[in-house]
Amino acid sequence: MRYLLKNGSLFTEDGFRPADISVADGRIVSIAGGLDAAPGAVTVDLHHAAVFPGFVDVHVHLREPGFSYKETIRTGTRSAARGGYTHVCPMPNLNPVPDSLEALNVQRELIARDGLVHVHPYGAITRGEQGEALADLEGMAPFVAGFSDDGRGVQRGDMMRTAMVEAKRLGKIIAAHCEDNRLLSGGYIHDGTYARAHGHRGICSESEWGQIARDLRLAEETGCAYHACHISTRESVALIREAKGRGVDVTCETGPHYLVFCDKDLQEDGRFKMNPPLRSREDREALLSGLLDGTIDMIATDHAPHSAEEKGRGLENSAMGVVGLETAFAAVYTHLVRPGRLPMPRLVELLHGSAARRFGFGTPLEAGQPADLTVFDLDRPFVVDPERFQTMGRATPFAGMELYGVCRMTMVDGEIVWREEIG
């Protein structure tokens, strides 16, 4: 297909500028003002909406194979498209666990058949994500974004060191779910104000930052490219900031919910339960500081759909995880960019640029590049209604909240995979 995207407001580091975008054969042909449609091209009037490079989410759960009652490749990638994402990286806590090329290929076949955006799976670090024996990293390496035992974490330091040595040899990233199971003590929310006031068992901050400290030492020793997933504590920010200062090859991510909410916002509802949990106000402010000074490299959703029954058991008994692909941009834009706490160029860097450089996918808005882009009406408010989500999951702490920034269109390889007409 050929397209002419008319009357866009193109994002640049220096601000937005009016531009038309010509697309043919999956690529951007030209970006300029006053372009005319090529023969046979479909003209789409963007009505001066903002045009961004397609976002990259390096941490999602698409649940297939094995848990298609929660999500499928089709519904998850449609959710991603509606959120402005053109690249996503699903975690390996699946059935079968992708711990060999044979097992990984089960997932890859589903992706090839049903994926609406670019999908780059992770391979498991250990067999079955059990932490006892190394997975076939070499066999999977050409086909994965990196390696992770997300949802469990690698408990043994010697096993993590072995994995890092092998990942270094293969030129791949270790993306770590950092959680010391010895310190959990049956907790399910942050060990803070809300837990003490309402009689809940808490998860201490050290269960996260203690393992990050371990991994940073191992990454420095082995030279492995290390990525810390969903950091939530002020100690984690400080440790990573210091490690970067001494040259450790480390990047990290946090999620939109950790930037907007803290444990004082908790309610007795499963839609507020995720792992790691919502932390203290002081932790949230440390995360915001980390965004601004470059310590935190990426915003990733940890999109984790569950069934209504699994999320309907209250704060204590519901499954861990919330959905986030369709609200991520709007949540951060509304709560941080519009109030002036985060510059728009920094937000785009957190959603696109850093992940593109670190993981090697995601392309800029330039002539000759793949036409992977997204279009947002930044001035249009909407109320988050989970019943309108494209994902099968409905649990989100943003439910009922008014946000700004509606995704009008997402294009992947020059084809429109999401479009929402507005007014």
Query: Per the structure block, which two tokens stand in for 293?
Result: 């000074």
The strand ranges marked E within 136-223 are 173-176, 189-190, 202-203
* DSSP designation for 172: -
Query: Per the structure block, which two tokens stand in for 224?
Result: 């492995």
Are the beta carbons of 363 and 53 closer than 8 angstroms?
Answer: yes
263 is a catalytic site residue = no
C-alpha closest to that of 115 among 72, 68, 168, 61: 72
Query: DSSP letters along 317-385, please?
Result: HSPS----TTTHHHHHIIIIITTTSS-HHHHHIIIIIHHHHHHS----S-TTSB--EEEEEEEEEEE--
> Which entry of 191, 215, 283, 302 is annotated as an active-site residue?
302
The strand ranges marked E within 132-245 are 173-176, 189-190, 202-203, 225-228
C-alpha closest to that of 221 among 174, 289, 281, 154: 174
> 250 phi and psi, to 5 degrees?
-130, 140
What is the C-alpha separation between 393 and 307, in angstroms, rounded? 6
One-letter amino acid at 235 equals E
CB neighbourhood size of 421 (10 A): 6
Can you tell me whether residue 408 is helix, strand or coil? strand
What is the C-alpha separation between 70 and 79, in angstroms, rounded? 13
Residues 6+ apart with CB under 8 A from 390: 75, 78, 79, 81, 82, 326
Query: Per the structure block, which two tokens stand in for 254?
Result: 């946090």
Question: What angle is formed at CA 407 by the lines to CA 402 and CA 411, rounded to 5 degrees?
Answer: 165
Active site residues: 302
